Structure 1
Amino acid sequence: TRTLHLLNAGGCLPQEASIFVNFDPSVFTDRAIVDKALRDMRLVLHEAGIDPRRIVCEVTEQKSASQETLYSFVEALRANGFRIAVDDYGADESDINRIKELRPDIVKFDANWITQLMESGAGFALLTTMVTSFESQGIRTVFEGIEEGWQLELAEKSGASMVQGYVLARPELASTSLRVFGKSVQAPAAGEGKTIAAASPAPVASARPTKAFGRKVTP
């Protein structure tokens, strides 16, 4: 699935687009497995014409054999020129420690946690403070699970770098012309079904009748 995702990205996406790829740390506990996976990935990137610096490796929540093994795996990803993202951040103590130890380039905030915080002024203030703290450390932020226009407006107000969710687009097969990606060439079906976009001017209708705000990006 990683190979298909990367080949599709190489054929579909503009050169400036980042490509997010999931990695389950519990799978990569043996150095031989890590080396083979990364070797195969480098070959696919070369074939697809993708600069490794466009790759963002999402480290998921699954447990690794040990913290040392996890850190070694993340450093191997970095050594290949990939960026690191911590997925499903929720401000638990374990999540905070994970940020300190892994020093990621990007933090993806858990969708359920974001939804809860956005429901109150105090929660939104905490969310904004955390985004500001990460940005001051050079860590970009992604809000996951953004499905309504009012959530998109709050994400923008908080200073989040990027958003991901149905308010932007839903998973679908790639168009045969691929005009949606800014190209008009033939390519296979789209990859992992995620849309992650940075804010860019264009109106989105609010789900709440008293508001009309936010920005929408077509990848």
Structure 2
Amino acid sequence: MAGECRSNFLKDELGFYTTSYGPFVLRSAFQPIFSQTADGRLTIEAFEALIRANRNGQTVSPYQFFSKVDPDDAVTIDTLCRELHILNMGVLGRKKARLFINFNPALFDAVANIDAEIDRMVEITHRAGLNPSRIVCEITEQGSGDKAVLDKLVAGLRARLFKIAVDDFGADDSDIQRVTDLNPDILKFDAEWVRRFTETRPGMALLKQSVKQFIDRGITVLFEGLEEEHQITFCDEIGVQLMQGFALARPEIVPTSFGERFPELTREAEANGNIRLADAPPLEPSLGMPAESPGNGPGNAAPAAKPMRSFGRRTVAFGKRTQ
């Protein structure tokens, strides 16, 4: 299986990897995850990896693609997508940013040797020139039918120095228990849940209290799905450490434009006392956010120019979610 998957990786003219499944060509898209410096500048702390499928030159949505995957191939494709993203992160050349990749624990019920699967991921991570500590394994909301399998998966990932994130936290009893059981490094709040609670003052107060409680436990908090400037301002006010959403940057198929828009901090700049998040890569200065600046990769066709909106300390590209 390992040989079959790896033989499917092809390099394009820019050195980035693609792969395929049947008639589908698969590419990586990355969406930045940001923090803010004390003066409000955005800095890339990580990327979330997303799969982009193409069939006969036509874009296929992730939902359509995964609905066509044979159930017998689900584990193989799940692994293939993660390896594709890790390899492309290595080519991207960022020295500090982390990469968020998805794990559906339900699939691992069918994996006889979880340790072998994790060791394989360590190998592909080193092959990409990355340290496992820069890979954040995002445990999706789908539950595992066997808690022992999930515990073994998370323990194995941690033992190899991968970081753990819990996705789609919504403060239900089951969500709180999931956080207690997994004790993640990073907690991603469900976008719809956050949006609903930011509509009222009591809701905002509850979010602020929840964020503080998790930070006090040493868990980094991430709000995703941010589409409005007031949501970004609210994150700043309540101490949310990481932010993601279309109001900040849209996903781009590799190669992306993010290297030009958000270059990494030099060692000289680091030495001048820039702020750092606990247990996170050093912050980087932002150049500001140009309107919808696309990457050069396939599928990053330039949209109509949009004006930049200035919001006090920060200048960001602003856009509504369209997909």
**Structure 1, gaps ≥5 residues long:** 184-197, 205-210
Q: How does 1:104-115 map to 2 (within 5 A)?
A: 104-115=184-195
Three-state SS of the structure 1 residue aligned to 2:165 is strand
Match of 1:98 in 2: 178
Is the 1:57–1:82 Cα contact (8 Å) retained in structure 2? Answer: yes
Instruction: Tell me the amino acid that sits aligned with residue 98 of structure 1.
Output: R
Is the 1:56–1:82 Cα contact (8 Å) retained in structure 2? Answer: yes
Three-state SS of the structure 1 residue aligned to 2:211 is helix
Match of 2:260 in 1: 179
Match of 1:71 in 2: 151
Q: How does 1:14-25 map to 2 (within 5 A)?
A: 14-25=94-105
Instruction: Tell me the amino acid that sits aligned with residue 139 of structure 1.
Output: I
For 2:285 and 2:210, how far apart are their aligned partners in 1?
22
Match of 1:188 in 2: none
Of Structure 1 and Structure 2, which has the larger fraction of its residues in helix? 1
Q: Deviations over 1:88-124 (max 9, x none)?
A: 0000000000111111111000000000111111111
- TM-score norm. by structure 2 comes to 0.56
For 2:170 and 2:243, how far apart are their aligned partners in 1?
16
State the number of aligned residues. 198
User: Cα RMSD over matched residues?
Assistant: 2.7
For 2:102 and 2:286, how far apart are their aligned partners in 1?
29
Match of 1:82 in 2: 162
For 2:284 and 2:314, how far apart are their aligned partners in 1?
6
Is the 1:201–1:216 Cα contact (8 Å) retained in structure 2? Answer: no
- TM-score norm. by structure 1 comes to 0.81
For 1:128 and 1:135, how far apart are their aligned partners in 2?
11
Of Structure 1 and Structure 2, which has the larger fraction of its residues in strand? 2
1:133 aligned to 2:222? no
Q: Deviations over 1:35-70 (max 9, x none)?
A: 332122111111111011111111011121222221
Is the 1:132–1:159 Cα contact (8 Å) retained in structure 2? Answer: yes
**What is the CA distance between 1:29 and its match in structure 2?**
1.8
- State the percentage of identical aligned residues: 42
Instruction: Tell me the amino acid that sits aligned with residue 252 of structure 2.
Output: E
User: Which stretch has the larger CA shift, 30-39 or 44-53?
Assistant: 30-39
Alignment CA distance shift 1:216-1:134 (3 Å): farther
User: Which stretch has the larger CA shift, 86-95 or 39-48?
Assistant: 39-48
Instruction: Tell me the amino acid that sits aligned with residue 87 of structure 1.
Output: D
**Structure 2, gaps ≥5 residues long:** 1-80, 265-282, 290-309, 318-323
Three-state SS of the structure 1 residue aligned to 2:101 is strand
1:212 aligned to 2:302? no
Is the 2:99–2:136 Cα contact (8 Å) retained in structure 1? Answer: yes
Instruction: Tell me the amino acid that sits aligned with residue 179 of structure 1.
Output: E
Instruction: Tell me the amino acid that sits aligned with residue 102 of structure 2.
Output: N
**What is the CA distance between 1:199 and its match in structure 2?**
9.9
**What is the CA distance between 1:173 and its match in structure 2?**
2.4
Is the 1:131–1:158 Cα contact (8 Å) retained in structure 2? Answer: yes
